[in-house]
A = this chain, B = another copy of it.
Amino acid sequence: MTTIKDIARVAGVSVTTVSRALNGYSDVSKQTRQRILDVAKELNYSPNTVARSLVMKKSKTIGLLVSNMNREGVKDNFTFEILCGLNQASADAEYDLVLFSTTSSKQREKTYTQLCRERRVDGVIIQGIKTDDPYLEEVLQSDIPCVLIDIPIESNTVGYVTTDNVRGAKIAVLHLIEQGHKNIGLINGHSKADVSTRRLQGYVEALEENNLRLKTGWIKNGQFAEHLAEAAALELLTEHPELTAIFCASDLMALGAMKAVGKLGKRVPEDVAIIGYDDILLASYVSPTLSTIRQDKYRLGYEAAMLLINMLENQLESKAKIIDTELIIRESTKKATK
C-alpha cells in the first residue's frame, strides 16, 4: 500500500510537500505539484483516511442511530426513505454514513457517548427513538453534534428536523369534518412519541374549532402497529357505533382499521371513513385507496443530514427545520352518498 512517504521518496521531496501538494495548498511550486501528482497516480496512491482522521480529529463521517433496522422493522419503508435522503445529502457533502446498530442486545451495554466517541463520528443523526429512551438524555448532555428526527429538542449541539404534526393531524380531521363527519375517532401511536402527542393535539383542535363532540372513549392507541390498530378499531367501532370516521396516526394503522371495518361487515368509506398519516407506498395500492397526510420522508432525511453538516461546518444559527405535509385525498374518505 502506497503512502505519502513512498511518493516523497520517488519524487525526491519531503512528505510535507507531498501532503501539501495533494491537499491543494498554494505554497507548492507548479512543477513540484505536478511531479507529485504524477508519482501518486503512478504508484496508485490512495490516502489513508484513518491516519488523517487521527491527526485532524475529524472523520467526515456521520453516525446513524435508527430504530427498526431489525427483522420486524421491515414492514414500513418509512425508515428506508429517510435513509435514502440521509445518504444522498451526505454523499453530496462527501460525508460517510456509519450505521450504529442499536438492535443487538449487547448494544445497550454502551452509552450513547461511548458509542459515538469510539467511532469518532463528527456528528450523529437519530431517528425512531422514543421520548423516554435513556439515550435522549445523554444526547443533550453530550457535546457531540446531533440532529434528531421527529423529536423537537434543541440545545447548543442538538438540532432537529420534523414536520408540523399538529397541523397535519388537524388538516386530516378537518377533511373528515368537511365530508360531513361529526363523530370522529382517533387511533394514535403511543405516548412515548412526540408526533403522537402533537397529532392528538391537532385532532382536538380541529374538533373544538368546529364545536364537535370529543370523547376520550373515541381515542385509542395502536402503537403504530397494524394488528394492534385493527384490534383498537374493532373495540372503537363496537363500543361506539356512533363513529362514522377514524383518523389513524399512521397508514399502517389505518390499514389495520380498514380490516376491522371489514370484519364488522361494514364498508369503507360508506359506513366508516378512514384517513391515515405518512402516505406509505401501500396507501395508494390498497382497496379502497387510503386518504392520508403525506410526509416527505426522503426530504426529512435529506434535511437532517444537511442540517447536521451545516452545524459541523459553519456555526449555525437555526438548528430546527420544519417540513411541510400535504393532504392526499383518496377513496377511503369519499363523501358518503346521502
Chain A residues at the B interface, C-beta cutoff of 8 Å? 1, 46-51, 53-54, 59, 61, 69-71, 73-75, 77, 79-81, 83-85, 87-88, 90-92, 94, 96-101, 103-104, 106-107, 113-114, 117-120, 255, 281-282, 285-287, 297-298
Contact = CB atoms under 8 A, between A and B. Distances in A.
A98 B47 CA distance: 18
Contacts of A92: 104
Given A77-B77, A99-B99, 12 more contacts: A46-B113, A69-B87, A71-B298, A74-B84, A87-B103, A88-B101, A90-B101, A91-B103, A92-B104, A98-B98, A255-B285, A282-B282
A85 to B, nearest CB: 8
Given A104-B91, A287-B287, A98 B46 contact: no
A266 B119 CA distance: 57
Contacts of A103: 87-88, 91
A299 to B, nearest CB: 9
A87 B84 CA distance: 16
Contacts of A286: 285-287
A83 B80 contact: yes
A84 B103 CA distance: 10
Contacts of A81: 74
Contacts of A88: 69-71, 101, 103-104
Contact of A53 (B46, B50, B297): B50
23 contacts: A1-B117, A47-B118, A61-B98, A73-B84, A74-B281, A75-B281, A77-B77, A77-B80, A79-B80, A80-B83, A87-B103, A88-B103, A91-B101, A91-B103, A91-B104, A91-B106, A96-B100, A96-B119, A97-B98, A97-B99, A97-B101, A98-B98, A286-B287
